[in-house]
A and B are shown apart, each in its own frame.
Chain A
Amino acid sequence: MKALLILLPLIGLLIANLLPKRIGRVFAFLAIVIIGLFQITLVTCPGSLSGVDPLTLTFLMLIALVVVLTSISSIAFPKTDSQKVNFNSLLLIILMGMNGLVMVRDIFSMYVFIEIVAIASFVLIVFNRERDSFEGAYKYLVFSSVATVMLLTGIALIFLFSGSTSFESIKMALNSSPKNPIILLAMALYMVGLFIKGGLVPFHGWLADAYSAAPADVSPLLAGIVTKTVGIYPLFRVVSLYSVTGPIRTIILLVGIISIFFGALAALYQKDFKRMLAYSSISQMGYIVLGFGCGTPLGYAAAIFHLFNHTIFKSTLFFNAAAVEKQTQLRDMDSMGGLAQKMPFTGVASALAALSTAGIPPLPGFWSKLLIVIALWLAGFKVYAILAVVASVITLSYMLSLQRRVFFGNVGEHLLHIKEAGAELLIPSTILVLIMVGVGIFFPFIIGTFLLPVTRLW
């Protein structure tokens, strides 16, 4: 069953490329939607996937959701037949890569799938062949490859002790001699490599350029799921084999808190819609990493829950940005205004997502941030908890600034003719907003079905 999640997209990819282009484009799109829905049903029906734990299941569900919604939203951006086939083929490859990433139990295979996802994202960023996207993708490639070399060095040094790259043997090797300097060096290198891939400060240099230069239909995919799967999931998997204590814990907490503040403060000064959302992503990833750095089961569960919420609301925001960009051809926020009157659905979705990011009840962002702060406080990191709350205020301020500049206020003269975005961009937004509001309202239900099983993983 597990292999189907990789083999089905592969077969779909080969068939879609061998058919004539006019049929191939429809086939590729249907392949993504059907496989994505298949994946979601596999995940939600308990017991159909053997040997996967709740962390993997969460990621599989999020991956399928975001890839299917990206494919639907890409209909709104016109492409020729062969371009459409290529685009959906790349989406199938990213789907395969991420599925493989979260399902393998071997650190080197995880690296191979990380590279698959990286290559597919480079190509997706330059899909429209604009000059800015080449520059953003090149920067991303260089940073990502340096991170790759660090990951490989870490894997090689761990191999010295474990003799194999599978998770169980690494766990045995790491726990048998935890204070060995070579092992500490290996873990530090591996983690720094993951921080670069995940766009955490001070290794975030590629992220703002890549997110804002990517085509409008690719940004929700990148920000919503790719950076998290490639940067945060290996962190959860490998570092929890080691046990988060001592210097490793300090590094994680410091990187988390610095990312939160840097992302939030930088987002305040942005004029470009997507760049502000990119810096906001850096800030929220800092929260996730901070929750993980607590080292307690509550912190771990809170981090995963915040990751889930961030996927939902950041993807919503990027889909709305795509809708705004398509309708107005603008990305500069100062020249927009009053779009809520012209694009009501987009405005409401964006407002709800912005409030969730800032952590306003009853939206789920409030619950996950609250859990992270509680976990930090209980673990004894009271200063970090207070700083996290302060950063929430900054988050609220830049999100409100975004809403005010883009959606509220008076409609500018050049914007009088704008209409609401088409169904292809509204459907993803609506689905995500419904999930968001549902999770927020039914939060007590979520505690039982989601958070407690995840806690047992720790």
Chain B
Amino acid sequence: MSAGAISTLLPFGFFIVLVFIIGIYCLLASYNLIRVLLGLELLIKGATLLIGIVGFVTGRVVYTQTLIITLIVVEVVIIAVGVGLVLGLHGYNKTLDLRRARNLKG
């Protein structure tokens, strides 16, 4: 049983790690405030898929579905507030450039 679980888990885990790498690279390398949120979204997608596959492997599909539903609700609120912050920052700087938003230093 354990070996069968590993054989289903491993390919998914491999691709999930790739998605995490894409998300983190986007977060680190982008100069645009909104693209950073895009990278964040990709990371959360990776985590969602990980929870889903863990539920499938352990047989607890219903449990993980409840976790995923709650996670999606939380994600929407975070993105909504994040977008509000981006719009507020744009109102002041008139640009979405992350490099301009380095006013606080030290």
Binding site for B on A (CB under 8 A): 108, 112, 115, 118-119, 122-123, 126, 129, 131-132, 134-138, 141-142, 145-146, 148-149, 152-153, 155-157, 159-160, 163-165, 208-209, 212-213, 270, 272, 275
Apart from A135-B89, A135-B104, A208-B106, list 17 A-B contacts with CB within 8 A: A119-B78, A131-B92, A131-B93, A135-B101, A135-B103, A138-B89, A141-B85, A146-B40, A149-B40, A149-B43, A155-B51, A159-B51, A159-B54, A159-B58, A165-B63, A270-B106, A275-B106
Contact A212/B47 with A131-B89, A134-B89 known, Cβ cut-off 8 Å: no
**B interface, CB within 8 angstroms of A:** 20, 27, 33, 36, 40, 43-44, 46-47, 50-51, 54-55, 57-58, 60, 63-64, 67, 70-71, 74, 77-78, 81-82, 85-86, 88-89, 92-93, 101-104, 106
For the complex, give the distance between the alpha carbons of A137 and B101 in Å.
12
Rounded to whole Å, the gap between the CB of A144 and the closest CB of chain B is 9
Q: List 14 A-B contacts (CB under 8 A).
A: A112-B74, A115-B77, A122-B85, A134-B89, A135-B101, A135-B103, A137-B85, A148-B78, A157-B50, A157-B54, A159-B55, A159-B64, A163-B63, A270-B106
Q: Provide the residues of chain B in CB contact with A131, threshold 8 Å.
A: 89, 92-93, 103
Residues of B within 8 A of A108 (CB): 67, 70
A149-B44, A156-B51 known; A138 and B104 CB under 8 Å?
no
> Are A141 and B89 in touch, CB under 8 angstroms?
no
Which 7 A-B pairs have CB atoms at the shortest separation, nearest pair first?
A: A131-B92, A152-B47, A134-B89, A209-B104, A149-B43, A134-B88, A156-B50
**In the complex, which of the residues B40, B51, B92 contacts A152, with contact meaning CB atoms closer than 8 Å?**
B51
- Give the docked Cα–Cα distance between A450 and B106 (Å): 39
A146 to B78, CA, bound (A): 12
Known contacts A146-B43, A152-B47, A159-B64: A138-B86 contact under CB 8 Å? yes
**In the complex, A282 Cα to B67 Cα: how many Å?**
32
What residue of chain B has the Cβ atom nearest to residue A109's Cβ?
B70
In the bound complex, do residue A141 and residue B82 qualify as a contact, i.e. CB atoms below 8 Å apart?
Answer: yes
A275 to B36 Cα, complex, angstroms: 26
Residue from the set B43, B58, B85, B92 with the largest chain A CB neighbour count within 10 Å: B85
Task: Check B78–A212 contact: CB distance below 8 A.
Answer: no
B-side contacts of A149, CB under 8 Å: 20, 40, 43-44, 46-47
Q: Please tell me if the beta carbons of A122 and B47 are within 8 angstroms of each other in the complex.
A: no
Interface SS, A side: helix
Given contacts A145-B78, A149-B47, A152-B71, is CB(A126)–CB(B27) below 8 Å? no
Name the one of B64, B88, B103 contacting A126, with C-beta atoms under 8 angstroms: B88
B42 CB to closest chain A CB (Å) equals 10
Query: Is the pair B85, A164 in contact by a Cβ cutoff of 8 Å?
Result: no
Please name the residue on chain B nearest to A129 by beta carbon.
B88
Instruction: Find the residue from A138, A155, A157 having the highest chain B CB count within 10 A.
Output: A138
Q: In whole angstroms, how far apart are the Cα atoms of A132 and B102 in the complex?
A: 9
Q: Known contacts A108-B67, A132-B103, A149-B43; decide if A156 and B85 are in contact (CB<8 Å).
A: no
Q: How far is the CA of A209 from the CA of B104 in the complex (A)?
A: 6
B55 closest partner in A (C-beta): A159
A160 to B27 alpha-carbon distance, docked (Å): 28
Tell whether A156 pairs with B78 under 8 Å between CB atoms, given A108-B70, A142-B40, A275-B106: no
Minimum CB–CB distance from B79 to chain A (whole Å) comes to 9
Check A141 against B81 for contact (C-beta < 8 Å): yes
With contacts A131-B93, A131-B103, A163-B60 known, is A141 near B78, CB below 8 A? Answer: yes
Cα A145 to Cα B78 in complex, Å, equals 8
Quote the shortest CB–CB distance from B59 to chain A (angstroms).
8
Output the nearest chain A residue to B57 by Cβ-Cβ distance: A160
In chain B, what residue has the closest Cβ to A162? Answer: B58
Chain A positions within 8 Å of B54 at CB level? 156-157, 159-160
Which residues of the other chain, B, contact A272 by a CB distance below 8 angstroms? 106
A115 touches B46 (CB 8 A): no
Kindly state the separation between the CA atoms of A148 and B75 in the bound complex, as whole angstroms. Answer: 10
A145-B78, A149-B46 are contacts. A160–B104 as well, Cβ < 8 Å?
no
Q: From known contacts A131-B89, A149-B44, A164-B63, infer whether A136 and B104 are also in contact, taking CB-CB under 8 Å.
A: yes
Q: Which residues of A contact B44 (CB under 8 A)?
A: 145, 148-149, 152
Please give me the residue from chain A that is nearest to B47 by CB atom: A152
CB-nearest residue of chain A to B45? A149
Taking CB as reference atom, which chain A residue is nearest B64? A159
What is the bound-complex CA distance between A22 and B20, given in angstroms? 49
Complex contact B85–A138 (CB within 8 A) = yes
Known: A142-B40, A153-B50, A272-B106. A134 touches B60 (CB 8 A): no
Residues in B with CB closer than 8 Å to A129 are: 88
Q: Which residues of B contact A134 (CB under 8 A)?
A: 85, 88-89, 92
The reply to whether A145 and B40 form a contact with Cβ atoms under 8 Å apart is yes
* A149-B39 Cα distance, complex, nearest whole Å: 12
Q: Which residue of B lies closest to A130 (CB)?
A: B92
Query: Which one of B20, B93, B104 contacts A212 once the chains associate, using CB atoms below 8 Å?
Result: B104
Chain A nearest CB, measured from B90 CB (Å): 9
Return chain B residues, CB-CB under 8 Å to A122: 81, 85
